[in-house]
Amino acid sequence: MRVFCGIDWAERHHDVALVDESGTVIAQRRIAETVQGYQELLDLLAQAGDQADNMIPVAIETPRGLLVACLRASGRRVFAINPISASRYRERHAVSRKKSDSQDAIVLAGILRTDMAMHRPLPADTHQVQALAVLARAQQDAIWRVHRTGNELRSVLREYFPAFLELFAGQDGGVTCREARAILAIAPTPAAAGRLTRPQIRAALKRSGRVYHLDAWTEKIHAGLRVDHLRQPALVEEAFGHQALALLAVVDATCSCAAALHEAAVTAFRSHPDYEVITSFPGLGEVAGARLLGEIGDDRTRFADARALKAYAGAAPITRSSGRSHAVVHRRVKNRRLAAVGYVWAFAALTASPGARAHYDRRKHRGDRHATALRNLYNRFLGCLFHCLTTRQSYQEHTAFPTPQQPATAQA
């Protein structure tokens, strides 16, 4: 008799339900996320016939957490069911839309009983790539926080200090670049900026790490901070300065965290066996490669073919056809982190790969927009990446983008 397990995850406790092939509930229990709770779960599974060579599959609504990590470490198949899918299955059991934790556990177990083939278990990735995924995602989140807080700082400066924004408008990072942060720390208001001397500006630039063109930077900043602009009243201006310094402290801390996570992610990526294959692709650096490997993992059985990988990354289009209606649109349900890597990868490859540039130009000539053409190029790269990782080969430009052969000249 086959048995299926469903676990409704919660912060304080987890509800467990076991059902057999006929859908009959054979066991239910509420456990805590502790060593004792995990042992209770193992005992419950053992009483239902769980064996080392035939483990009972488990369905849960989250792919992460301590309980999921322990279940994966035991070699058991764990299915992370999307909460939206689980809510659709819930309506099969009760049209009144009633909901309870114990009932949700039964619904999750029933999903495996009826439609296990429609869902994929969590991949059997190595601990090395799981650690890499943690670091790469944390580094990406830190970069997003820098951009988010930088936009807040820019909005505040725009209210009372537009000269500062114009001074660093063309610099990479804008007000979050190291030179801008160093100057803003000693001159948070236009009044304080007007009192800065050249030696003070030069010293601040040196503290930020600027080495080259110090004199030119000093003169540019000294002149730019003295341009006439509209001013707020003195007290209001001082209050805005305090707000800008508070946001600047957040930006500084986030930039330091992002730099530390960058080093940790790159170090972990360099030690992985797939490092050489992934970095052989044009436009794919160490940071983007670490994010890519962290999302796709190193379990080569995870994706049946390249089409599955492309769909997971959101690079493959989706077709909606019904009767006379037929539409091909881009995929919205996808791994958004992987899709973000794909945009950066494809854009960087335009200058690093002649074949990629020619492919992009052909798509643009056919009428594709910029994002659509990049997504199509990313789709092409993913197919090459799947083949290279499967066969353990490095990227070859002439194989990925073969030159069209000229037609043979007819002999007279």
CA atoms of 298 and 389, how far apart (whole Å): 9
Q: How far is CA 275 from CA 268, 278, 312, in A?
A: 10, 5, 21
Question: Which residue is associated with the tokens 């973000």?
Answer: 340
Pick the closest to residue 70 from 117, 14, 1, 111 (CA basis): 14
Determine whether 304 is exposed, middle or buried from the number of CB atoms within 10 Å of its CB (0-12, 13-18, 19+).
exposed
Which residue intervals of 297-369 are DSSP H helices?
A: 306-313, 336-352, 354-365
Q: What is the DSSP secondary structure assignment for residue 118, as one 8-state letter?
A: G
The reported pTM is: 0.88
CA atoms of 189 and 187, how far apart (whole Å): 6
Strand partners, 58: 5, 78
Residue by residue, pLDDT tens for the chain (412 residues) are: 799 999 999 888 999 999 999 999 999 999 999 999 999 999 999 999 899 889 999 999 999 899 999 999 988 999 999 888 888 888 777 777 778 889 999 999 999 999 999 898 999 999 999 999 999 999 999 999 999 999 999 999 999 999 999 999 988 889 999 999 999 999 999 999 999 999 999 999 999 999 999 999 999 999 999 988 899 999 999 999 999 999 999 999 999 999 999 999 999 999 999 999 999 999 999 999 999 999 999 999 999 999 999 999 999 988 888 888 888 888 888 999 999 999 999 999 999 999 999 999 999 999 999 999 999 999 999 999 999 999 999 999 999 998 876 444 444 2
